A and B are shown apart, each in its own frame.
Chain A
């Protein structure tokens, strides 16, 4: 088991690895949020 700081730096590749996963979170989260917003706007019209 490595220490927290080692885990964050990932042997110097931390920026690239965490950058990738952060972007994945933004992309997937963004899709879910935009879908929710789309539903809200059509719900409003439906009433």
Chain B
């Protein structure tokens, strides 16, 4: 089987259509399971009471915001370097979902900060760098929307996306590099997690649910972008001939 053929939008379109429902359905199931574990199995936290339950949406949203940015920059870079249209369209599709999750992480963070820190917002290193991440997404989206020629829009977006990647490690390590109000990482690759197993389970299930959701919605939007670009090309051809 020749996998490269799926790099062409025309071949990719029906394949994506076949796999989307699987991601959408499993995502919906895992959201329900994750919320069930998070609200009915996980115990009350001895320090934060029930306020910590915001974590089950806040942490996955923040992770998705960062992961999707890196993924978007990689696709934008591939689309630029190899002149691969589908990769550029993928980057455009990811940008909306990434911005949504970043915004969600900021809002849920404010909802968590108010009862635990006494404030909705502080100009703390992690929160400020996450706000910059949201601005990078918004910059990418509006830059692409403002350029008529789609391939030029793709290239301009790729430059912005790749330059902005530097912000992701800054967000990740901000709690170690600076003295911040935001708490440090709960999950580390080499150390034991510092939370109870049902809390960890609920958070990981929600993270997987957010991943599956992202795959489904990004592929749906990608198919949509393929259709729209084709319509644009057809309209352009009509004007020329």
| CB pair B227 A46 closer than 8 Å | yes
| CB pair B227 A11 closer than 8 Å | no
> Which among A17, A24, A31, A38 is the interface contact of B53 at CB below 8 angstroms?
A17
Q: How far is the CA of A24 from the CA of B57 in the complex (A)?
A: 8
B92-121 with Cβ < 8 A to chain A: 96-97, 100, 103-104, 107-108, 111-112, 114-115
| CB pair A23 B104 closer than 8 Å | yes
Q: How far is the CA of A42 from the CA of B124 in the complex (A)?
A: 43
- With A17-B51, A20-B57, A21-B57 given, is the CB distance from A42 to B104 under 8 Å? no
Task: Provide the residues of chain A in CB contact with B100, threshold 8 Å.
Answer: 27-28, 30-31
Please report B residues at the A interface, Cβ cutoff 8 Å.
35, 39, 44, 49-51, 53-54, 57-58, 61, 96-97, 100, 103-104, 107-108, 111-112, 114-115, 213, 217, 220-221, 224, 227-228, 231
Main SS at interface, chain A: helix
Residue of A nearest to B213 (CB): A28
> Which among B50, B57, B107, B217 is the interface contact of A11 at CB below 8 angstroms?
B50
- With A11-B50, A16-B51, A24-B61 given, is the CB distance from A31 to B112 under 8 Å? no
Task: Provide the residues of chain B in CB contact with A12, threshold 8 Å.
Answer: 49
Selected A-B contacts with CB under 8 Å, 13 pairs:
A11-B44, A11-B49, A13-B51, A17-B111, A20-B54, A20-B107, A20-B112, A23-B111, A28-B104, A38-B221, A39-B220, A42-B227, A42-B228
| CB pair B221 A20 closer than 8 Å | no
Residue of A nearest to B39 (CB): A7
Task: Provide the residues of chain A in CB contact with B97, threshold 8 Å.
Answer: 31
Q: How far is the CA of A35 from the CA of B223 in the complex (A)?
A: 11
Residues 5-42 of chain A: 1 if any B CB is under 8 Å from the residue's CB, otherwise 0?
00100111110110111011001101110010011001
